[in-house]
Chains A and B, each alone.
Chain A
C-alpha cells in the first residue's frame, strides 16, 4: 500500500522538477540568450491578400472599436478584408456589423451564423470558406490592434515554412482590480519569457488563437479548424507542428486585450482553457511522442510539456494528498542532511521558478512598481490550480460526452473607451 502511494508521489515530484528546470531554462535564456526575431524588420514587401476574422457572439460593447482599429491599419486596403463572424448574436452586434458593412462594403464583409455548433472553433470553421485570402488572421472582438500590427503579423509568412504566427497580448484594463494586475503579471511571464524563449530556442511557440493567424494553405493541409475542440489554438498548433509547419512568435507584435476583472469570470475562462488543452493533450501526446522525422528530440519534449501544462495543477494537488496520506501512515521518506538540503532547495528554487519567470519578464518590460505585487501571484496560482483540477476531474468523469459547452468571457469595456496611448 505504501509503495503504491510512494511511486506516484516520486513520479509527480519528478514531473514538477522537469517543469521547474524548464521555467529556469526559459528565464535564463530570456535574460542572457540571443533574442531571435528574424521577421520583425520586414516593413516593405509586396503584401499578400489577408482576411482578418473576428469571431463575435454578443459583442456590441466592443466590436465597433475593434473594427475602427482594424480599418485604421496601414495594410494596403485592396489586400485586406475584415470578416466579423457574427456567431448567433442576440444583442446589437448584427446591427453594428450591418452598419460597418454598409459604410465599408469592400473592406468589411460580415459572416452571419444563425445555427450550428456554438463556440469560436465552429464559427471559424464555417467562416473559413468565406475567403480565399492567402493569410487568415484572427482577433477576438475585445482586442485593439495598432496601426502596423497586420503587416507585422503577415511578415513571417514570407517564410514558406511558417504555418502560424502569434503576437503578444497586452492587458489594457490593468488598473481595475487586483485580479487584472495579477493577470498582467502572468501575461508578462507567459509572453515575454515563455513564448519568446521557445522562439529563441527553436521549440514550439504556441499559436494563441488571437493576435495571430495561419496560412490558408497550411490550414487546408491539416484539415481546417476543428469544431469539436474548446482550444482551437492549441489544437491547430500541434496539428501544424506534426505536419511539418513552423509556428512563429513575435514579441514586438503587441495588441491590447481586456482581461477578466472578476474571479468568477476568470475561473470560467481558465476552466475552458484547461478542458481544451487537455483535449489536445489526449489527442496529440502519442503522435508527438512517436517523433516525426522533422522534429528534434528537444522540440518533442517541449511539445509534451506544453501539452501537459494544465495537467500540472491536478498532479500537484494529488501530490499534496499523497504526501499528507503518507505522513499520517507514518512513512518517513528518508532522513539526514541530504533530504533537508533537497527540501530546502526545492522550497527556494522549485516553488519560485514561476515567480522568477514573471519577475524576469517584468524586468525585460521595464516595469518597476508592478513587480512588487509578485507575492500575490500565489493567490492566482491557487485559484488556477483548484479551477483547473476541478475542470479536469469533471472532464474525466464526462469523457464520453462529445458536445463541449462553450463559455464566453465577459466584457467590461464601456462604449467609447480610448486605447492606451490615445491612438485608438
Chain B
C-alpha cells in the first residue's frame, strides 16, 4: 500500500509542477487590472499639445511674482529648467553652448529665432514666432502664428493657435496641428497633421465642377444593386464628363475619367484613379492605392491601404466639409489642399 501511495503522491507532485506558476498567480494575483483601454482622446491629434499647455499653465501659475514676466532664467516648481525671452532671442544664449537648449523655452514676445538651434525640451511661444533654418525642436506650442524655417525638424509634436507655416525640406515627426491652417513647403516629410485647412503652398479652394453630363452614366449590365450602392465585378472606367448618381463598389480598379462626377462614395478592391477635374462627393476607399489627378475634388474621407497621391491643386473636403486622408503613405503635390486631417504612419511627403 505504501509504495502505491508514494507513487501516487509523486505522480500528483509531477502533475502539479507545471501548474505552480498558475497556482501562485491564483493565490497571489499580480495582474488583475482590466486591460487599459486606449482612451480615444489619445487619437485626437492635438492631444499631447493640449496636455503640455495644461501642464505649463499649472507650473506658470505657481511661479513667484518676479518670474511671471520679462526675461528670466530659473526653474519651474517641478524642478524643470526654463528660460523666458521677452523682447529678443539674445536671452537664449545665456549659459548655452553651441546653440543647444536643454531647458524649456518660453518665448513671450514676437520674434525670429536664430538658425541652427536645437531645443532638447519644449518651446512655448506666447506671441508669433518664426524659427530659424535648420533648427531642431523636441516640441513646440504656439498660442498664435508659428513659422518653421527651411530644413527644420520637429521630433514629437507642434501646435499653433494661428497659421503654422513649415519651410521646405522640413521633417515633422509625430503630430502637427493648428487651430487655423498648416501651410507646407515643398519636400516636407510628416506623419500626422490636423487643421481646418492643410495646404501645400498657396490654397486654391474647392475647384468648380467641370461640365459633366446632365444624364446619369449607365452602369454595366452586370452591376448589381446592393442596398444603397451598386457593385461591379472586375474593373470599371467612368468616361470623361460622365455623372454617376449612386455609390459604387468595384471589385477591381476604378477609373473616374476627366471631369466626371460621382454623387455618392466609391470603393475599389484594387486602385481608385481620379483623372484631372474629376469629382466624388462622398468618400473614396481603396484596398491598394488612390491616385488623384490635378484640380480634382473629393468631398469625404480618402482611405487607402497602400498609398494615396493627391494631385496639383486637388482638394479633399471643404471649409464646411472636414475630411480625413489616411494611408500608410501619402503624397501631396503642390497646391493640394486637405480640410481636416492627414494620417500617414509610414510617412507623408509634399512635392
- B-contacting residues of A (Cβ < 8 Å)? 36, 38-46, 74, 146-149, 151-152, 155, 158-161, 163, 170-175, 178, 181, 184, 188, 215, 217-218, 220-221, 243-245, 252, 254-256, 293-294, 365, 367-370, 372-376, 420-421, 423
- CB contacts (< 8 Å) of A215 on chain B: these are 227-228
Q: Which residues of B15-48 are within 8 A (CB) of A?
A: 18-19, 21-22, 24-26, 29-41, 43-45
CB of B323 to closest CB in A, whole Å: 6
B33 and A420 contact, CB distance less than 8 A: yes
Beyond A46-B300, A244-B231, A373-B25, 19 additional contacts (C-beta under 8 Å) are A38-B304, A38-B326, A41-B192, A43-B45, A44-B323, A44-B324, A74-B41, A147-B40, A151-B40, A160-B265, A160-B285, A171-B34, A184-B34, A184-B35, A218-B227, A243-B226, A294-B251, A376-B22, A421-B37
Who on chain B is nearest to A170 by CB?
Answer: B35
- CB contacts (< 8 Å) of A184 on chain B: these are 34-35
CA distance A221 to B226 in the complex (A): 7
Show 26 residue pairs from A and B whose CB-CB distance is below 8 angstroms, ordered by the A residue. A38-B303, A41-B324, A41-B326, A44-B324, A46-B300, A148-B40, A151-B40, A159-B265, A160-B228, A160-B249, A160-B267, A161-B249, A171-B34, A174-B32, A181-B29, A215-B227, A221-B226, A221-B227, A243-B227, A255-B37, A294-B233, A294-B251, A367-B35, A372-B24, A420-B33, A423-B39
- By secondary structure, the B interface counts as mixed
Q: Does B305 contact A (CB under 8 A)?
A: yes
- CB contacts (< 8 Å) of B228 on chain A: these are 160, 215, 217, 221
B35 and A36 contact, CB distance less than 8 A: no
B266 and A43 contact, CB distance less than 8 A: no
Contact with A along B212-233 (1 / 0, CB 8 A): 0000000000001011110101
CA distance A22 to B289 in the complex (A): 30
| A158-B265 contact, Cβ under 8 Å, with A38-B326, A254-B37 | yes
Q: Does B116 contact A (CB under 8 A)?
A: no
A244: contacting residue among B44, B226, B321, CB under 8 A = B226
CA distance A159 to B218 in the complex (A): 22
CA distance A41 to B328 in the complex (A): 11
- CB contacts (< 8 Å) of B29 on chain A: these are 175, 181, 369
B22 and A374 contact, CB distance less than 8 A: yes
CA distance A375 to B24 in the complex (A): 12
Who on chain B is nearest to A178 by CB?
Answer: B26
Who on chain A is nearest to B269 by CB?
Answer: A161
Q: Does B247 contact A (CB under 8 A)?
A: yes
Q: Does B257 contact A (CB under 8 A)?
A: no
Pair count A-B, CB < 8 A: 172
CA distance A243 to B249 in the complex (A): 13
B33 and A160 contact, CB distance less than 8 A: no
A46: contacting residue among B31, B226, B233, B323, CB under 8 A = B323
Band of interface residues on B: 35 or more
A217 and B227 contact, CB distance less than 8 A: yes
CB of B138 to closest CB in A, whole Å: 24
- CB contacts (< 8 Å) of B185 on chain A: these are none
CA distance A368 to B31 in the complex (A): 7
B233 and A160 contact, CB distance less than 8 A: no
CA distance A293 to B251 in the complex (A): 11
Q: Does B293 contact A (CB under 8 A)?
A: no
| A159-B34 contact, Cβ under 8 Å, with A244-B231, A369-B29, A373-B25 | no
A420 and B34 contact, CB distance less than 8 A: yes
B33 and A43 contact, CB distance less than 8 A: no
Who on chain A is nearest to B45 by CB?
Answer: A43
Who on chain B is nearest to A176 by CB?
Answer: B32
B40: contacting residue among A149, A175, A376, CB under 8 A = A149
Q: Does B167 contact A (CB under 8 A)?
A: no
* Residue of A42, A173, A375 with highest tally of chain B CB at under 10 A: A42
- CB contacts (< 8 Å) of B264 on chain A: these are 160
CA distance A254 to B287 in the complex (A): 24
- A-contacting residues of B (Cβ < 8 Å)? 18-19, 21-22, 24-26, 29-41, 43-45, 192, 194, 224, 226-229, 231, 233, 247-249, 251, 264-267, 282-283, 285, 300-301, 303-305, 321-324, 326, 340-341, 343
CB of B179 to closest CB in A, whole Å: 13
| A161-B267 contact, Cβ under 8 Å, with A148-B44, A372-B25 | yes
* Residue of B18, B34, B44 with highest tally of chain A CB at under 10 A: B34
| A293-B324 contact, Cβ under 8 Å, with A158-B283, A159-B267 | no
A245 and B226 contact, CB distance less than 8 A: yes
A170 and B34 contact, CB distance less than 8 A: yes
* Residue of B22, B38, B45 with highest tally of chain A CB at under 10 A: B38
A367 and B34 contact, CB distance less than 8 A: no
- CB contacts (< 8 Å) of B227 on chain A: these are 163, 215, 217-218, 220-221, 243, 245
- CB contacts (< 8 Å) of B248 on chain A: these are 160
| A252-B38 contact, Cβ under 8 Å, with A43-B43, A148-B43 | yes
CA distance A175 to B323 in the complex (A): 42
CA distance A40 to B42 in the complex (A): 12
A159: contacting residue among B24, B30, B45, B285, CB under 8 A = B285
A376 and B34 contact, CB distance less than 8 A: no
- CB contacts (< 8 Å) of A158 on chain B: these are 265, 282-283, 285, 300-301, 303
Who on chain B is nearest to A219 by CB?
Answer: B227
CB of A250 to closest CB in B, whole Å: 11
Who on chain A is nearest to B231 by CB?
Answer: A244
A-B pairs, 10 with minimum CB distance: A148-B40, A369-B31, A221-B227, A44-B340, A175-B32, A41-B343, A369-B30, A217-B228, A372-B25, A44-B341
B37 and A146 contact, CB distance less than 8 A: yes
- CB contacts (< 8 Å) of A245 on chain B: these are 226-227
